[in-house]
Structure 1
Amino acid sequence: MLEEKKVQDAMQIILHAGDARLHCMNGLKAIENSDFDKAKDEIKRANDEIVKAHRIQTNCITNETQGEAGEYSVLFAHAQDTLMTIYSEINIAKRMIKIFEAYDARLTILERLKRVNEHE
């Protein structure tokens, strides 16, 4: 019975992390299109999903530290790897939004200056 719970928890972590990855990829596509509002929204949704996955992981670890039997599970290890990989992807995407927003703002200023100089 305990093994069944661990499998269910692992699958829930993988599912939430997978949903987070989908939102993260959508956010990156939005960055490509300079749609930073959509990118931020998608990253927020990705973060919401990764938090759900992280809570499940934390509950499993807490239960194990409180004496629940905790045998090694390849599936649970995979779930943890998936969670942390996608968590890193989300962090990189958050930084990319800031980088490309700054880059876009600089380009906008340069384009305005060019237009002003052309009219003089």
Structure 2
Amino acid sequence: MENQEIIMGIIIHGGNARSSAMRAIAEAKNGNFEAAEKLMEESKAELNKAHRVQTDLIQAESRGEKTEISLLMVHAQDHFMNAMTVRELSVEIIELIKKL
């Protein structure tokens, strides 16, 4: 797979993870905790996919295969980290909504 396609995988899966987590909050706000849980599971699965792509890039670099640092790569890493943060916060927000 070409480098740009690999990087786009991180962006796509990170974006999907973030979107699922945000939709989970909306479902929880409406009292649909079962739907929220399903969306959080989807979010976790998407994050795992993005993480696998990132790990493959890191392992390739550790074998001496250089990865070009481009604006697209930086954007992908930003997307991934943002998705991780949103998902972690979503877990806490949904728990707070449940307590209300």
With the length of structure 1 as denominator, give the TM-score of the two structures: 0.78
* Large movers: runs of 4+ above 6 Å: none
| Cα deviation 1:27-50 (Å, max 9, x = unaligned) | 011011011111111011011001
What's the CA shift for 1:100? 1.4
Letter in 1 for 2:48: V
Larger relative contact order (Cα-Cα within 8 Å, sequence gap ≥ 6): 2
With the length of structure 2 as denominator, give the TM-score of the two structures: 0.92
Corresponding position: 1:67 with 2:69 = no
Structure 1: segments with no counterpart, 5+ residues? 104-120
| Cα deviation 1:31-77 (Å, max 9, x = unaligned) | 11011111111011011001101110011011001100222121111
Q: Which residue of 1 aligns with 2:98?
A: 101
Could you say which structure has the larger radius of gyration? Answer: 1
3-state SS of 2:55 partner: helix
Cα RMSD for the two superposed structures? 1.3
Select which of 19, 23, 29 maps to 1:22: 19
Alignment of 1:3-14 (within 5 A): 5-14=2-11
Question: Aligned residues, how many?
Answer: 100
Select which of 41, 46, 55 maps to 2:43: 46
Structure 2: segments with no counterpart, 5+ residues? none
Within 2, Cα distance between the matches of 1:23 and 1:14? 14
Within 2, Cα distance between the matches of 1:62 and 1:77? 18
